[in-house]
Amino acid sequence: MEKLAVVYRGKAKTLYTTADPHRLILEFRDDASAFNGRRVEALAGKGAINNQINHFIMQRLQAAGIATQLERLLSADQALVKKLTMLPVECVVRNRAAGALCRRLAIAEGQVLNPPLFELFLKSDALDDPLINEFYGYTFGWITPEQYRQIKQLTFQINALLVPLFEQADLLLVDYKLEFGLLGEQIVLGDEISPDNCRLWDKKSGNKLDKDRFRQELGHVVESYLEIAQRLGIEVHQNSEVTT
């Protein structure tokens, strides 16, 4: 499947049209951004690692009955996905306190959150992705009550699958962001699940292995992403054609 035109160039990925109007190519670039794009750097090898981690995780979710965008891996850093009409909200799940939650409510980093928190953010770079709740969605037409019911249910199903998946790799899934889109009336998981949008800590040492290494300038970002992939049992290919 060939890339045709660029549909959208985001901060970390580029979407291309294909000959099939219902399929897009999702290309994972090496660009890393933090603080809503105010810091951008290229991290060689990141795109391929994230593409292959995302593929592995989406395959697992798909096998467990979650509808995902996934079609197939096309190359080290590209995947063929279903073209979705994305909902303009981001869903954040928090199993432990970190990041903005600690800053907002002065909660100690690492505190176990039981039950896990579920938060909604409006996808808007211009507004710095503000925290909202479902009623904003209904009032402003971003999401319907039925769509909210479904994304909340899907998110907790996904959390119940992801926590043990990472646990087996001796990783704590602290928090992460999901994006859903519509395929007709059906809600489908889109975008990506990778160390760029998850917080993952080593279970024993508590070491951060995710994008906080970039945000907090801790170094060894790509090496840590690769360690996550290896712990999940993924053999990462760089610059090579990947066939599945």
User: Does 199 engage in binding with ligand TYD (CB under 6 A)?
Assistant: yes
- Which of the residues 163 through 182 are near ligand ATP (CB under 6 A)? 179, 181
Q: Which of 86, 100, 122, 182 binds ligand ATP (CB under 6 A)?
A: 86
Q: Which of 120, 151, 198, 242 binds ligand TYD (CB under 6 A)?
A: 198
Question: The dihedral of CA 29, 34, 38, 43: what is its sign?
Answer: negative
- Which of the residues 156 through 175 are near ligand TYD (CB under 6 A)? 175
Considering beta carbons, is residue 74 or 90 the nearer one to ligand TYD?
90
Q: Which stretch binds ligand ATP (CB under 6 A): 59-67, 78-86, 108-116, 131-139?
A: 78-86
- Which of the residues 95 through 154 are near ligand TYD (CB under 6 A)? 98-101, 121, 129
Nearest Cα neighbor of 97 from 178, 175, 177, 160 is: 175
DSSP H or E run through 135: helix 134-140
For residue 208, the cross-strand partners are 201
- Which of the residues 1 through 60 are near ligand TYD (CB under 6 A)? none
Residues that bind ligand ATP (CB under 6 A): 8, 10-13, 15, 24, 69, 81-84, 86, 179, 181, 190-191
